Amino acid sequence: MTSDVLTPFYLGKAQVRGKLIRLGAQLESILKSHSYPPLINRYLSELIAIGAVLSLNPKMDGVFTLQISQGQILKMMVVDITSEGGIRACAKWDQTSFDNLLQETNGNPTLNQLFQGAFLVFTADLKDSPERYQAVVELSGTTLSDCMHHFFRQSDQLATGLVAVSNDEFSAAALILQRLPSALDQTEVEKEKEDDDWLSALSFLGTVTKKELFDPSLSANDLLFRLFHEHQVHVLPEKNIVVYCHCSKEKIEKMLANFSDADKKDMVVDNKIEITCEFCNKTYTL
């Protein structure tokens, strides 16, 4: 098994495209830089994997953001992904409320309890587009995969099937299928065949196990062939995933320029301002 590689593919006998991601060392680098509690790590790992299969598209150049925000306990969980495969991620929560929830639920709260009141937000900031694309949907589901299915239904995206998993060993994986738009001059027979092919592909997706997704002896090609060989799966060029934060001193200075002199004065300690990036924990001193 190769980790930290995105494998795109399409099904030759169905109007379906897909992507498979398995994350290991790069994910571990992100999580260890923050020292988050195990429960936060688990959900952040899955969100990173989902963000990767949702965002990375060779035809799009820019920065993509998948985030869960406005929760009462877990305030924010965000993943940034560049079109080159650079990923960064972070989370924020109310520590007192989080500790109380863990005590009330014996350390095993449901997704709805942890993210209560939150929204799922996807943003695409493309270099060749003057405006950002953004979709906002209320978080709803018992797993993050369920929440994404709800997101796709509510935001008029392509018909989508998704499986996302994580474990306690700093590993995560996600497998997504998306149905491509049908031809406008399609006959009724052709439409029925496409419907059947889509349902068949979804049923095969539903058979994939967590063990298979994390099996070190099972390559991406072998796994995809095992699942979709009846639909003539074709694997496309892979993309490496790396930890990358695009913070900089110049960006920090530009941000501070929008603050009033009084606000900046309040930030000064020992004749300097120190700002730490929430994604990579790098501290900038001005």
- Distance (Å, whole) CA 90 – CA 104: 25
For 98-131, the pLDDT digits (tens) are: 999 999 999 999 999 999 999 999 999 988 888 8
**What predicted TM-score, i.e. pTM, was given to this entire model?**
0.92
Domains present along the chain, CATH in parentheses = 5-246 (3.55.30.10), 247-286 (no CATH)
What is the residue type of 173? A
Overall average pLDDT of the 182-189 stretch = 78
The pLDDT assigned to 156 comes to 66
Average pLDDT over the chain, rounded to an integer: 92
Single out the residue of 33, 44, 119, 114 nearest to residue 80, CA to CA. 44
Pair 144, 47: CB distance under 8 Å? yes
What is the residue type of 274? E
Pair 23, 52: CB distance under 8 Å? yes
- Distance (Å, whole) CA 135 – CA 150: 12
- Distance (Å, whole) CA 268 – CA 113: 39
59 pLDDT exceeds 80? no
Angle at 51 between CA 89 and CA 136, to 5 degrees: 95
For 150-164, the pLDDT digits (tens) are: 999 888 678 999 999
For 210-266, the pLDDT digits (tens) are: 999 999 999 999 999 999 999 999 999 999 999 999 889 999 899 888 989 899 889
The pLDDT assigned to 99 comes to 96
